[in-house]
Structures are given as structure tokens and as C-alpha cells.
Structure 1
Amino acid sequence: MKGNWWRLFARERAPATPAPRQVAFNRNTPNPIEASHGTVSGDEVEEHFHRFILNLPPSTEDSATPAVEQVLLQRLTELCDSGRFDVRSLPRMPTVLPQLMRAMKSDNLNGAQLANLIRRDPVLVGEVMRVTGSITYRTAHPVGSLQHAVVLLGQIGLRHVVTSYVMKPILMASAGANGQLVGQRLWDHAERSAHAAVFLSKGQCDPFEAYLAGLVGYSGLGAVARLLEKELEMTLTSCSSAFVAGCAQVAMQLTVQVGRHWDLPPPVQDALIEHADSGRHAMALPMSRVLHAAQRLAMHQLLAEHRLVDAEADFSDGSIAQFPSMLLARCQQDLRKNFATQP
């Protein structure tokens, strides 16, 4: 196995992803996007995505931001600006994760070394053994050791187990009392975004770091949802596109703070910073562009699964036009293949 893990990265399949479970929509779920001439713009997709995640009501007819929205957005900005948000209120990412990431990128890797790292986290050991004992990995001989389980999983399978074990609980917990709904939606998008980021990363940036950036790229959104629900006591019956955009911008700035709090790899942090400033500056880093495109495609896929956008409509977005249209189309097809549409 030594030296083969990274070469397997692009070929090996992760454990089968179950079809997304039906999520009960509340009254704030946005109406489906009406595709114009068979196309949907990226801006429409992004706005609908944020309404969907944050449970924001439909847009007002008035294009100007109402006074109540201005007050709420100012308060939200004050709570999160200049490092005022207490990132310690978020779960801490286990130290074993970056260690595992570095180890899994090494060409000198072997199963025994990986197993020794995983042993430092008993819960992670249990997850690895549970997954390899499932029918997906059923073999003629029972899995008798952690090292055997690691070899059986392979890099993509192990990556899937590790990130699911680490990131899903963090995103589920980040959104407060309404976290079961908001957190599940955040996780569903994070999975799809990470998957798309790996697909688009070839020749652009490190695939593993792109995967991590895709997973954490909207981690600040859960905190915004919690603030809107609890601290701001939001009771809006409608809200403008400007308010949604303002919430999204605050969430991106929080994501940067979260990335520092979790001590993510420098390339990932740089991509998060540049992505947060993309409204004012063009994205120069390849990973930033990969992250942005992956997030947009994942948004479209998630909304399509919940019938909030036509899955077959052409996805048009000038901000991701630096990627060949055929590559983006193949990535969309790959997302549909790996993340089943709800019946």
C-alpha cells in the first residue's frame, strides 16, 4: 500500500452516499426558481440557497432594504465584525484531523502509521470499525484489526469517514436550537461542495485541501442562523435580496474567523479570505476559484434535490466562466450521480 494512497485519490470511490432524507419545509422555504429560457443565473441560485439555509421568507416587492432590515443587519454586523464573535462558542476541530490530512497526503504512507494516528481518538476508531463492518465492505474474513480496516477503506473511504465524523457534528451544532434543520442543510451542501471541489481541482490546486475548503466554506452560515434566531429575535415576514446578501457577507467573514480558530492549512485559509473579499476584488488564487465554482454547483444540486430549481435547467454564471463549460457540465452530472435526487 505504501506510496499508492495519493494516486488512488482520483480513482477510488467513497462509500455509497445514501439518498438525501426528506426535510420538512417550514413557511419560510423559498418558492422554486422560475428558469428563464431554460437557464438559471448563479446569483439567483445563491440567493435562494441562503434563504433555504437561513429559513428566510420570500423577497419583498420593494427593492429598497426596509428600515427594520437595516437595523437587523447592522446589529448582525456589529456582533460579528472585527473579531467580536466568540469563535470559542463553536466546537473545536479535533487535533487528529489536520494530522491525518498531512499523513494521507504523504507518498510514504502505510496502514500502520495511519492506524496509529487514528488510535488517538477512540470515537474515530469506533467509526472506522463500524463502517468497515457494514455490508459495503463485507469480506470473506472479518475485519480483525484497525490496520486491516484502514487498508480496506482506502484513502477516499477513510477521508469520507473522518470528515463525516468531524465536520457533520460541528455543522449540526453550529446553528443553535434550530440546528437539526439548518445543520442538516449545511452538511448536505458541504458534502456536495467538497465533492465538486475535488472534481474541479485537477491541475488547479491540491485536491485534499480543496476538499477541506469545500467542507468548511460555509461554516460561518450556521452561526449567522443562530444569531438571527436567538440574539436578534428575528420576526421578519419578508425580506429583500439586499438583506440576504448582507447575511451572506457576514457569514463569509465568520467563516474566515472559524478557519483561523480551527488552524486550517494556510492554503485553505487564504482561499477562504479571498473568497470572502470576492465582492470587492477578483479571485487570484486557483483554490479560491475552485471553491467558488464548487459552492455554486453544490447550491444548484441541493436546491434541485428539494425541487427549488429545475435540475435540467442550464446553470449560467459568469463568475465561474474561467472553467470550461464542458468541465462544469461534467461536474454537475457527477453531483447528480453521487447525490440522488429525492423521489
Structure 2
Amino acid sequence: MSWFSRLWPWGRPPAPQTGGRAPTSDATPVRIEPVQEPAAPVADVRPVLPWLLGCGELSDTPITPTERQALDAVARTLALPEIPDNLLPRAAALIPQLIALVRQTDLPTPAIAERIGKDAVLAAEVMRLASSPYYRVQGEVTDLEQAISLIGLQGLQTVIARVLLKPIYQSPPGPLSGRAGPRMWDHSEALARHTGILATPSGQSVFDGYLAGMLHDTGWTIAFSIIDRSGIQLPVPPSQAFGAALTEQTHRLFGLAAQRWEITPGFVALARDARHNGMVAATHPLTKVLQQAQQAALDELVAEKT
């Protein structure tokens, strides 16, 4: 079964939600709270940090001075009006290309096929999806235009996102970044799939959910880069308290980075909420979907590794 057919196991993808053009800026100042000792993690919630680092369970010890330094370093970046360019994933420049392509999907099918056909990788992925068992019951797919008509707008947008965003998770240099990098794409892909699945029952756009899941780990890549560049040598595995605090910070980092990426109005609203409210005090409904998808994705990934 293809990755996409697993995304919608109950039938055809729903039509995407429509909305106005995303706002171009958010000038509201962000209040950055001092890093505080977080509450003890809930026992039945699986944290993502140990899986990303490929280490054992987080230790049940207080935050160490070194961990405090790491959290403070991340907090200083969160106090900035935007993420510095040198902290963004190197392939983040591909996101404007994604935005442009997604906004062109309201063109006639022949025009879309012509544009997609200029990218061999993207065209191959569209044909592969349309030829998957999920769609093949409707007949043999012989050309790109037929494939695009078959998978529909939602399917096309999701394929575009998957193909263009994969390079974002190439491993940057550094102890933490290098350790987590090889696992980051697997996690982001699983998170995107499960967020897409859970979006519709929650009344959210499937594509917004998929984008949120696919790009959410940029918060982790930025956090690891900050810590690596600060020369901080974290103990591995770190403490539970540190893991909980860093998880909250990475959600805010995602929001701060994603404010540049006006892909859809729903995605922009999620990014703004993440930046201002974090995960614990979030008000956007997709945040709850992300949390639920996180557990499903981790359960799947852990099962695959055992």
C-alpha cells in the first residue's frame, strides 16, 4: 500500500477548504517567557526526543546546568522577531517554490500537467501515486494529465509538498543535528501522514494537516542547530524535564520559522498560534491534531524498529 493510500484509508480525499489569501505579516510582539521547570510528563505520552536521538528513555532527574544553558540558548532565538537565515534548514528556500506550485493548482489540468512534466521527480511521483492500488481500480493510467485528474487537487498538492520538502531534513553538521538527522525525515513523513488522517474528523483541512506534520520538525532541526552552535555538550539521554521544556520550545520555533511560509491561510494561522502560545496554551485546533498524530507516528516508528 502506498504512503498516500494510507493517508485516506476510508475513501477519496475530501475537497480542500477554500479561503482568502494568507496575511503577509504579523507585527504583534511576542512575549517570551523565562524557561521554567516544566510539569512532570504524563506517563502514557511517548516523548519524541529519545526517538529522534536514538537513545534510551529520558532520565528522571532534575534539569542539569548544561541542559539549562541549552534551553536559554534556544530562548534567546525565540526572542528574535524571526529565525536567522543561517539557522533555517538549507533547503528551506524550496518552500516558496512549493507555495507557487500549490497556488497554480487551480489552473486547467493540461496546464498543470505541462508544469509538472518539467520536473521529472515530481512527474514520476504523480504517476506512481495514480498507478497505486488505491487508484488503479479505476483503470490503467497512461499519461500525466490523466494521473492528475485521477488523484485530484488534494492529492496533487500533497505530492508536491512531499517531493519538495524532503531535502529540508538533510542532516546538518553538529553532534545533535547529525545524530537526529537520519531519523528526521522518517518522523516528519509519518507525522504528516497521521496528521492528515486525523485532520478531517477534527474539521480541519487535510492538506493543512499534512503540511503541519511535514514541516513541524523544522522546530527540532533549528533547536539542535542552536545547541550545536553554542558548543553545548548535552548528556544523552537528557532529563525528562529538559525534554518537556525543549518540546515546548521547538513548537514555538516551528511557528517562528513558519511565519515566513504563507502556503495556505490555515497553515499561517497555525504558525501564528504556535509562535505566540506554544503547545501547552495553543488555541488552534490543528495543534491538538498534531499532538494526537505525534503519538500515532511514534507508535508506528517504534514498531518498525523492533
Pairwise same-fold verdict (TM > 0.5): yes
Report the counterpart of residue 28 of structure 2 in structure 1.
Answer: none
CA distance in 2, matches of 1:157, 1:268: 17
Structure 1 pair 284–72 and aligned structure 2 pair: CA distance change class (3 A): closer
Report the counterpart of residue 76 of structure 2 in structure 1.
Answer: 78
CA distance in 2, matches of 1:205, 1:133: 27
Report the counterpart of residue 238 of structure 2 in structure 1.
Answer: 239
CA distance in 1, matches of 2:79, 2:127: 46
* Letter of the 1:127 counterpart: V
How far 1:127 sits from its partner (Å)?
0.9
Q: Secondary structure at the match of 2:195?
A: helix
Report the counterpart of residue 99 of structure 1 in structure 2.
Answer: 100
CA distance in 1, matches of 2:271, 2:302: 23
Report the counterpart of residue 180 of structure 2 in structure 1.
Answer: 182
* Letter of the 2:188 counterpart: A
* Letter of the 1:98 counterpart: I
How far 1:73 sits from its partner (Å)?
2.1
Structure 1 pair 295–101 and aligned structure 2 pair: CA distance change class (3 A): farther
Q: 1:202 aligns with which of 176, 200, 203?
A: 200
Q: 1:137 aligns with which of 127, 131, 142?
A: 131
- Alignment of structure 1 residues 253-268 onto 2, 5 Å: 253-268=252-267
How far 1:126 sits from its partner (Å)?
0.6
With normalisation by structure 1, the TM-score equals 0.62
Structure 1 pair 110–263 and aligned structure 2 pair: CA distance change class (3 A): same
Q: Secondary structure at the match of 1:205?
A: coil
CA distance in 1, matches of 2:232, 2:176: 13
* Letter of the 2:94 counterpart: M
Deviations 1:166-210 (A, max 9, x none): 111112256767757623422222222222222222251222212
Q: Secondary structure at the match of 1:262?
A: coil
1:220–1:251 CA contact under 8 A, matched in 2: yes
Structure 1 pair 12–53 and aligned structure 2 pair: CA distance change class (3 A): same
2:212–2:267 CA contact under 8 A, matched in 1: yes
With 151-160 and 64-73 compared, the bigger mean Cα shift is at: 151-160
Report the counterpart of residue 5 of structure 2 in structure 1.
Answer: none
CA RMSD in angstroms, aligned pairs only: 3.7
CA distance in 1, matches of 2:284, 2:57: 35
How far 1:211 sits from its partner (Å)?
1.6
CA distance in 1, matches of 2:220, 2:298: 14
Gapped regions of structure 2 (runs ≥ 5):
1-7, 14-40
CA distance in 1, matches of 2:279, 2:151: 41
2:196–2:210 CA contact under 8 A, matched in 1: yes
Structure 1 pair 262–239 and aligned structure 2 pair: CA distance change class (3 A): same
- Say yes or no: does 1:158 pair with 2:156: yes
Gapped regions of structure 1 (runs ≥ 5):
1-7, 14-40, 308-343
With 230-239 and 183-192 compared, the bigger mean Cα shift is at: 230-239
With normalisation by structure 2, the TM-score equals 0.69
Count of matched residue positions in the alignment of Structure 1 and Structure 2: 262
Structure 1 pair 77–12 and aligned structure 2 pair: CA distance change class (3 A): same
Structure 1 pair 202–68 and aligned structure 2 pair: CA distance change class (3 A): closer
